[in-house]
Amino acid sequence: MTPLAAAANENLAEISNYLIYSSMAVYMLAFFAHIAEWTFGSRSKVARTAAALTGAKETGAARAAAPAVQVRGKAGATAVLDQPKVTTRSAAGIRDVPDGPGAAGGTVQGDLYGRIAVSLTALAFLVEAGGVVARALSVQRAPWGNMYEFSITFSTVAVGAYLVLLALKKNVRWLGLILVTTVLLDLGIAVTWLYTDSDQLVPALHSYWLWIHVSTAIFCGAVFYIGAAGAVLYLFRDSYESQLEAGRTPGKFRTSVLERLPSAASLDKFSYRINAAVFPLWTFTIIAGAIWAGDAWGRYWGWDPKEVWSFVTWVAYACYLHARATAGWKGRKAAYLALFAFACWIWNYYGVNILLSGKHSYAGV
């Protein structure tokens, strides 16, 4: 490599770093916009869920709290139309509860801040994706040869999956705040503790399987994360609905937040469908890793810590899907099992890479 080419590579690596830091700044703006969305979209009197659970008719205040869409006619007049209320039967078949608007809703001001938050999230995604591409160009290889590169690619894919769901008109605005918060945490850890200078990899990693095996692992992890977020919020929403069903009155803040979420039944189904959709690809990821191991090390499976915990993660998600399909494990038990499976994935990424040693350790942090 000529000195001129080396300098160009260093410049690209520096550009990548600037882009990653810039994306963090934009994600921070998106975070504050989401906070404003939930704050200014606050609704002090929300009774839709309570009315559905008690069988009472919706009060005028509850109808006023329902999300609305403004439509401007040809003459300039503005009409306000109620959005259709989606009712989903719970996993246990005991509750019919309307979905919330998906985010703050409630007020025009809250919706405006929500749109700004989504726009900033999309902008941050583009900037971060540019940082990932610049990192790849700096060394002419796949940009996931170490934990730093894996982390910045992981968060990029997670945000991309969220934006795709929004583009498909899915009711996932509720995911925006928790997604942006965890992406900022992920990038903060990456640039603070996991940063590795842009460099070439050891010979064993110079294989087309790096593009196939690691890219699918990143995609699966990002989608598993979205499923886990749905499971966490399901637990909060289910507890809220159970309180209402038992005749107890939750606090105003809790009511204001949780009424904006889809029903517990919808969140339960969302988490299940996300995990079920990506599970076959995780199976392929393990098979691809075994084939690559056969090419690089002369054996397909050697009970390396990374291999073991990839398999443990596969077993955990397989148990989750099997339990839902055959044993009737739905609702809270299924959510706990889904979160345990995702915890196995997180341990496989952070714990195994940092605390344990094996054949996968040569990539460094």
What pLDDT digit, counting tens, does each position of 36-47 carry? 888 876 554 445
In a domain, 216, yes or no: yes
pLDDT of residue 71: 39
Res 323 pLDDT > 50: yes
Res 68 pLDDT > 70: no
In angstroms, the CA 269 to CA 230 distance is 9
pLDDT level of residue 81 (50, 70, 90 thresholds): very low
How many distinct structural domains can be found in the chain? 1
Residue 354 CB contacts under 8 Å (≥ 6 apart), including other chains: 365
In a domain, 280, yes or no: yes
Collapsing DSSP to helix, strand or coil, 89 comes out as strand
In a domain, 77, yes or no: no
Closest CA to 222 of 167, 273, 172, 150: 150
CB 258 within 8 A of CB 237: yes
Res 186 pLDDT > 80: yes
Res 63 pLDDT > 70: no
pLDDT of residue 175: 94
In a domain, 74, yes or no: no
Residue with structure tokens 């205040």? 61
In a domain, 46, yes or no: no
Domain that holds residue 169: 3-41+105-363
pLDDT of residue 42: 58
pLDDT of residue 308: 92
Residue 160 dihedral angles phi and psi, to the nearest 5°: -60, -40
Q: How many CB atoms lie within 10 A of CB 225?
A: 24
Res 82 pLDDT > 50: no
Q: What percent of the chain stands above pLDDT 70?
A: 77
pLDDT of residue 244: 86
pLDDT of residue 164: 96
In angstroms, the CA 330 to CA 91 distance is 6
In a domain, 331, yes or no: yes
What pLDDT digit, counting tens, does each position of 328-344 carry? 787 899 999 999 999 99
Q: How many CB atoms lie within 10 A of CB 165?
A: 17
Q: Is the pTM of this model over 0.75?
A: yes
Residue 240 CB contacts under 8 Å (≥ 6 apart), including other chains: 49, 250, 254, 255, 258, 264
In angstroms, the CA 223 to CA 341 distance is 13
What pLDDT digit, counting tens, does each position of 246-290 carry? 888 888 878 878 888 888 999 999 999 999 999 999 999 999 999
In a domain, 336, yes or no: yes
The β-bridge partners of 284 are none
Q: What is the mean pLDDT of residues 16-34?
A: 97
Give 159-178 as a DSSP string: HHHHHHHHHTT-S-GGGHHH
**107 against 322, higher pLDDT:** 322
Residue 50 CB contacts under 8 Å (≥ 6 apart), including other chains: 56, 244
In a domain, 90, yes or no: no
CB 304 within 8 A of CB 298: no
Q: How many CB atoms lie within 10 A of CB 17?
A: 17
In angstroms, the CA 167 to CA 157 distance is 15
Average pLDDT in the chain: 82
Res 2 pLDDT > 60: no
